[in-house]
Structure 1
């Protein structure tokens, strides 16, 4: 299999914070990045993504995406791009699978509530929380905290959206313990994971929005590039049901975006000879062409206007924010409401105490959070399931 000179090397990777896995080599012939991926997949934090909001809050239907299915779809797209570019597929896949581990229940609505509650204690950010999750909270090993992932994985997770000039307290604290070179661009694998995330949610949220009835085809076709795709699909399958044509249009749009990323990234990296040169380039190298980037921005604007800020979505988000805010207030007032193992972790002083309470809430699934509100406040949240 073709391996580009600028790919991350699983046999010359950066260190792990707590050294190599003691006796880990006995657990199969895996590379360091394959071990990273497997540690993420086997984690409880990853399993809980199955019941965390992607677009729709706590959906009753089985056909809507959750953070887990979204992460799997991002990983599929990321692997395809990485393979075609000669990058390390395992590192790319691991980054894609881990990128949303820091999301609290109810998605961005839950994050907004935690950010408000935590404002006096340094705030809350789901990207930094993903690092905190894999480096400190998810701790299945007897001799160290966290999953003890490679530097390459942690660096990519911290910077998959680019250099971090002003890290919040969580990322700054982790960077002080295990420096991640936050001021530079990360590996191409991390950059690919970021663009794979954009491709996945741009297009799969269309699919879910149409299924839920929050988006209408006629509105989508006001975007000329989607209208072009629709006409092409109709010509290819003139007698197919509309539902199948819609899904074919989404697949075609994903294909166009992937091919655009491959062509643009190949053009950007032609003269690079090592992963060190990728980091020294000082700019994003893996991504859309200027023309596709402009289309993608128009699509995002449309989705915010028509789906993410749909009146039903906004109403459900406000109720979700209230659930998280009330849980935080209840635990902050009376820590005995938390499980015994979490009570044992609570520091005496602030801001550390507030941050551990936020860790507990951030790890909850949507349904667990709703049940927790019933337990601590004696009432069930209403109107949260909107599909």
Structure 2
């Protein structure tokens, strides 16, 4: 068992859960954060990530990543890095597994559509919707709404990208229910989950982009970080054909980024003087990060990926189709709530903004393929041609 550093999140020092649970915190030999992780894994919202877009909308190939496989890869990077740094592996893993639960169908295209549709009703933000889903919408327990996750888990999901100085309506709602100290920094585990997400999608999106034929190795080698890692791979395997080394390139980059992260974070923690998790929260800056040199190289890689993959013409066409589906569904349900399934129709508010937010909750929970089916049921197959 890994010994936790003093500045890690310790389960026996947790601020607890919103709702007391009869029978105490233990159901089997699990602590607070282990139970959080297991509640995420067993949730319906987590299972739905299997059919939600990561990069490619409703991908034709079985080998492309979706939100579920992406979340598992983020968790692997986060968990092993947490162990090396003496942080809480279970809390880190739980945060990594849950961080994308609030994404609607079709990834960022679906989110953009819902944000525009809710513009007059407070907007839509996938991060806040993660908390809304886990605290209010998914309710498997008989005595309370939500999964009743620990304060540290909810705080980490709210603030893993930094303090929330201007929370939207959804974040305000959950914060009023269980105050999360939104203007402070989050735990080191939450900071690590955020950067593990970056490491995962920076590199695995390269793998998927190459597999789809939207990226070429020659173009990738114009990025200094990629070129440096490729030179290291070729030096180790000079006689292996290049097409056999592409996945080795991805592994090399993950290793380079993870090792830099570990070294830079250790130095930051030592220089900061933090001794407890609460010291981390009040410090006023992020401690888990890349070195300045690698951070600059990673930003350059992101710029390349946006220009070459995320904004590729085929991707933009798929995103436009996705926005049509989400927009059509929202307007159909808004004008005729009888189109909603019974369990959603029976609780659809009559007044705004609650009505539109309720409809957005339903759509945001859809998988890509369910959204496409609902659209086809209402509008027919030819509506998107």
- Normalised TM-score (structure 1): 0.97
Mean alpha-carbon deviation: is it higher for 158-167 or for 371-380? 371-380
1:4 equivalent in alignment to 2:1: no
Tell me the residue number matched to 2:135: 135
- The Cα of 1:227 is off from its aligned counterpart by 1.2
Tell me the residue number matched to 2:246: 246
Tell me the residue number matched to 2:41: 41
Q: Deviations over 1:343-385 (max 9, x none)?
A: 12212211111101000000000000000001122236657xx
Partners of 1:382 and 1:73 lie apart in 2 by: 34
Tell me the residue number matched to 2:300: 298
Mean alpha-carbon deviation: is it higher for 34-43 or for 270-279? 270-279
Kept in 2: contact 1:185–1:282 (CA 8 A): yes
Tell me the residue number matched to 2:66: 66
Partners of 1:241 and 1:23 lie apart in 2 by: 60
Partners of 2:133 and 2:24 lie apart in 1 by: 22
Partners of 1:382 and 1:22 lie apart in 2 by: 51
SS at match of 1:23: coil
Partners of 2:313 and 2:362 lie apart in 1 by: 30
Tell me the residue number matched to 2:347: 345
Tell me the residue number matched to 1:90: 90
Partners of 1:114 and 1:144 lie apart in 2 by: 28
Tell me how large the CA RMSD over aligned residues is: 1.2
Tell me the residue number matched to 1:186: 186
- The Cα of 1:243 is off from its aligned counterpart by 2.9
Tell me the residue number matched to 1:16: 17
1:310 equivalent in alignment to 2:312: yes
Alignment of 1:126-205 (within 5 A): 126-205=126-205
SS at match of 1:11: helix
1:57 equivalent in alignment to 2:51: no
SS at match of 1:164: coil
Tell me the residue number matched to 1:327: 329
Partners of 1:31 and 1:233 lie apart in 2 by: 42
Partners of 1:68 and 1:176 lie apart in 2 by: 30
Tell me the residue number matched to 2:363: 361
Figure out how many residues of one structure are paired with residues of the other and give that number: 382
Unaligned runs of 5+ in 2: none
Q: Deviations over 1:108-138 (max 9, x none)?
A: 0000110111111100010000000100011
1:118 equivalent in alignment to 2:113: no
- The Cα of 1:161 is off from its aligned counterpart by 0.1
Kept in 2: contact 1:373–1:380 (CA 8 A): no
Kept in 2: contact 1:7–1:86 (CA 8 A): yes
**Where in structure 1 do 4 or more consecutive aligned residues deviate above 4 Å?**
380-383
